[in-house]
Structure 1
C-alpha cells in the first residue's frame, strides 16, 4: 500500500516594526499545511525591555517565545487581533482576489491566495495604525523607493472612481486592478473605496458611490459625520468632492498626526478580543475600557453620546469594527474619532451591537437612559447629552444642503425617515429636566 503523501508546508517569517522610528517589536510567522493555517508571534527582547513598551495586541502575553494563534471559525483571522485589524476590508479583498484570478489565467501553476497574501497586500504607507511588516530582504511590504508613492493623490480620484466602478460591474481590466492593488483600506466593508493623499499631504479615504446605490450614500455619510460633530462627538473630518458628476466622500484618516506620524490603532473587537460571529454588548466594551483607557470617564461618556446619536440617525451598522482606539500612553488607549456613520432610512432602529447582555439591542431612548450610569453619566448629564444630540439631528436638513454635503431636495426626502421619526420627539421630551416638565405641566 502506497504511503499517504503529507501536504507540503509553507512557512513565512516577517519582522514587525512600529512607526517611522522603526521600533522592532517582534516576529510574525505564518504557517500553512494543506488547508490548515495558523500564525505565531514572538516579541523581540529589545521591545519587551523598552520603557516605551505597550501591548501591541491584547491577546499577546508580555513574554519571550512564540505564541500561537489559530482562527476560531472560518470567518475569523489567523493573525493576532491587532494585526488582523490591518488586513484589507471586504472591498480590498475583492480587488485582490480579482487580480489574482486574472494572474492564474495566465499562469495556472500559481497557487491559491492565502490569508498572508491578503495581510501583505496593503501598501505600507497606508496600512492602518502603526504596525509595519518587513520581509527577509528588509523591505517593507508594498513600499516603494524614496521620492515615489503608491497612495494616489486627490487629483487621481477620477481614475480611481472609474477603476472601482469597472470592478463593481465585473468589467475591470488588468490595468484597473494593478492600479487599485495595495490601495485597500481596513476601515469599512464591501463598498468601493481607496486610500488617497489629500491636497495638503494628509492621508485620507476616498469613498465612492456604488452602482447599486438607491440613494446618495456618500452624501449621507458626510452628513452624519457633520451632524455628529455638532452633537459633541469627535469625528473624522469629511467633505464631498464631485468627480465625473458623482459625489465622492473624502474622509481624513485619524491614525496619523498632523505631521503624518503613525498612531497605533486597534478596533473595539480587538479590545474585547471578540470573534466575528459573537454577539457583544456596549456594556461589555465599557467595562473593558475601564482598565484600558487613559481617560476612562471621558471616553465612556463619549461612547454613550455616540450610541444616542446612532439611534437617532438610524445608524444600525454599529458593529465593533466600526469603533476604534488609538494608543495614548503608559499601555493605555483612547477612543478614536467616530467613523463609518451611515443613516439607513429603510431600516428599523435596532443596533447591531447589543446595549447590554440583559437588554439586547438598542431599540429606544428609554433603554439607553436606563443604562446611562454604566457610562459614567448622571441622570441630568444624560438628559443634557440627549438635548445636544436632538438639537444637532434636528438641523439635518439645513446641514444637508450646505456645499460640503450638497444634497438636492429629492435626496432629502429619501433620507427623511432616518432623521424624522417619533423616537426623535420622544428623545426631545426625555431631554427636559423633571423641573422643566413640571413647570410646563403647571402652565
Structure 2
C-alpha cells in the first residue's frame, strides 16, 4: 500500500495524541513537506529549533528527506532493509518509510493514516529480552537473505523503526524498551567492546545511555536503554545533524554553539563541557565514525533543549586518525584531531584554554585505563591485544602524555 498523504501526531503523552499536520510528497518523490494544522500552529511548540509555527508550510532542508525533526523519525539503512523484508512496500519514498516504521520510532512524533484519530501502522508486541537468541538467529537469516516465516517476520518487526547500519531491533526488558544490537561476524567481540567503551565513558564522568552486554550465540549482543522514553512519556528529540542543516558547518564547536542557543541558561556551561569531554573521548578511543546523527537533543517541558545521553561510542579499530566531525571550523586546523586544536577551540566550548587542557588530561587519565576496564567487563585477552594496536598506538599514547590519574573509580559492568 502506498499512501498519498500521512498525518504527523505529537505523542509526548501517548494517551492524549495531538495532531501536528499533514505530510505529502514533493514532486521529486524523494522529499516531503509538512503542512501544520491551525490548532498546532496556535498552541503547539516549534518541532525543530530555528523553524516557526508562524509558517504553515515546512519544506525539507538540503541533505534531509523530511522537514526538521520529522527527518529523524525516518529509519535509515538497517530499518529500511527490515521494512523491505517485513512489509515489502511497492514504493520506498520518505512517506512510505515514515508509515511502515510503525509506532516505536525515535522521539515523540507518530505517523497515522488518519487526521481524526491516531492510527499507526500495526505492529506485534515487543520481544522480551530473554528471547534474544531466537531473534539473533532470525537476524542472521535476514543478513543471509534467506526467506522468513510469518512467525519470524513478527519476531523482528520492531527493527523497522530503527536507523544506523548495524543490525538491531527493539526488545522489552524490566518494563522498558531497549535497543538490541547484534554482531556482524567480526574478528573481535565488537559489541562487548562497545559496551566496555560505554562503561569507560561512564567512569570518565560522561553522561552515557545505560547499556548491558548479554551473551548471544557466539559473540555478545548489546542492549542500550532508550533515553527518549521516560515511563509512559515519549521525549521529543532532534539529532544534531538535523539542527546543523541550517548552520553551514557541522563541527563539534558548532554543536556547542547550538547548546549556547538552546539549553537552559544555568546548564549551558556544563553541557558544553560535557560535549568537549565526549569529543576528547571519541578521539582517544578511535571512534572515527562519531557523526552528527550520533548526537541528539531532548526537548524539556520548559521549552529548552539538552544533550541526550551519549550513545554509539564504539572503538572503530581502523587507525585512520581522522574523525567524522571536525573539532572546529578553523580552516588552519582542518583534520587536526589533537590536544592543541581542542585547547585552541576552548572558547567555543565556554572554557578557558587551561580548563580545556585540564579536561582533556582528565579524560586521558580514564582512557589510559582502558585495558583494565575492558578486561573487567569481560573482553578476552586476544581481543585486548588486538585493540592495543589501535588504542596504544604512538599517536593515541601521545594524546595521554600528561594524563591525570582518575580518582574514586568504580565498575558496574552490566554483564550477564
> Is 1:85 aligned to residue 69 of structure 2?
no
2-side partners of 1:36 and 1:93: how far apart?
Answer: 16
Q: 2:181 aligns with which of 204, 207, 215?
A: 207
Match of 1:6 in 2: none
SS at match of 1:356: coil
C-alpha deviation, 1:134, in angstroms: 2.3
Please give the residue correspondences for 1:319-338 in structure 2 after superposition, counting only pairs within 5 Å: 319-338=291-310
Match of 2:342 in 1: 368
Please give the residue correspondences for 1:276-425 in structure 2 after superposition, counting only pairs within 5 Å: 280-294=250-264, 295-358=267-330, 359-402=333-376, 405-425=377-397
201-210 or 351-360: bigger deviation: 351-360
- Please say if residues 6 and 95 of structure 2, whose CA atoms lie closer than 8 Å, have aligned partners that are also in contact: no
Match of 1:94 in 2: 81
Match of 1:135 in 2: 113
Q: 2:59 aligns with which of 39, 58, 69?
A: 69
SS at match of 1:418: helix
1-side partners of 2:46 and 2:61: how far apart?
Answer: 20
- Please say if residues 142 and 182 of structure 1, whose CA atoms lie closer than 8 Å, have aligned partners that are also in contact: no
> Is 1:44 aligned to residue 37 of structure 2?
yes
SS at match of 2:126: coil
1-side partners of 2:322 and 2:172: how far apart?
Answer: 36
C-alpha deviation, 1:255, in angstroms: 1.0
Match of 2:239 in 1: 267
SS at match of 2:199: helix
- Please say if residues 37 and 70 of structure 1, whose CA atoms lie closer than 8 Å, have aligned partners that are also in contact: no
1-side partners of 2:228 and 2:385: how far apart?
Answer: 35
C-alpha deviation, 1:424, in angstroms: 4.1
Distance 1:241 1:182, change over 3 A: closer
- Please say if residues 58 and 273 of structure 1, whose CA atoms lie closer than 8 Å, have aligned partners that are also in contact: no
- Please say if residues 99 and 112 of structure 2, whose CA atoms lie closer than 8 Å, have aligned partners that are also in contact: no
Q: Which runs of 5 or more residues in structure 1 are unaligned?
A: 1-8, 102-109, 433-443
Match of 2:51 in 1: 60
1-side partners of 2:394 and 2:177: how far apart?
Answer: 40
1-side partners of 2:45 and 2:35: how far apart?
Answer: 14
Larger Rg: 1
- Please say if residues 58 and 270 of structure 1, whose CA atoms lie closer than 8 Å, have aligned partners that are also in contact: no
1-side partners of 2:249 and 2:144: how far apart?
Answer: 34
Distance 1:143 1:36, change over 3 A: closer
C-alpha deviation, 1:251, in angstroms: 0.9
Match of 1:107 in 2: none
2-side partners of 1:164 and 1:265: how far apart?
Answer: 28
> Is 1:241 aligned to residue 211 of structure 2?
no
2-side partners of 1:255 and 1:418: how far apart?
Answer: 33
362-371 or 302-311: bigger deviation: 362-371
Please give the residue correspondences for 1:16-55 in structure 2 after superposition, counting only pairs within 5 Å: 16-19=9-12, 20-31=14-25, 36-50=29-43, 53-55=44-46
C-alpha deviation, 1:302, in angstroms: 0.7
2-side partners of 1:247 and 1:196: how far apart?
Answer: 15
Distance 1:260 1:381, change over 3 A: farther
Distance 1:260 1:411, change over 3 A: farther
**Residues 301-336 of structure 1, C-alpha deviations (whole Å, 9 max, x = no match):** 111111100011011111100001111243220011
1-side partners of 2:365 and 2:254: how far apart?
Answer: 29
> Is 1:192 aligned to residue 167 of structure 2?
yes
Match of 2:410 in 1: none
1-side partners of 2:193 and 2:305: how far apart?
Answer: 30
Q: Which runs of 5 or more residues in structure 2 are unaligned?
A: 405-416
2-side partners of 1:185 and 1:99: how far apart?
Answer: 12
Match of 2:409 in 1: none
Scaled by the length of structure 1, the TM-score of the pair is 0.82
- Please say if residues 280 and 353 of structure 1, whose CA atoms lie closer than 8 Å, have aligned partners that are also in contact: yes
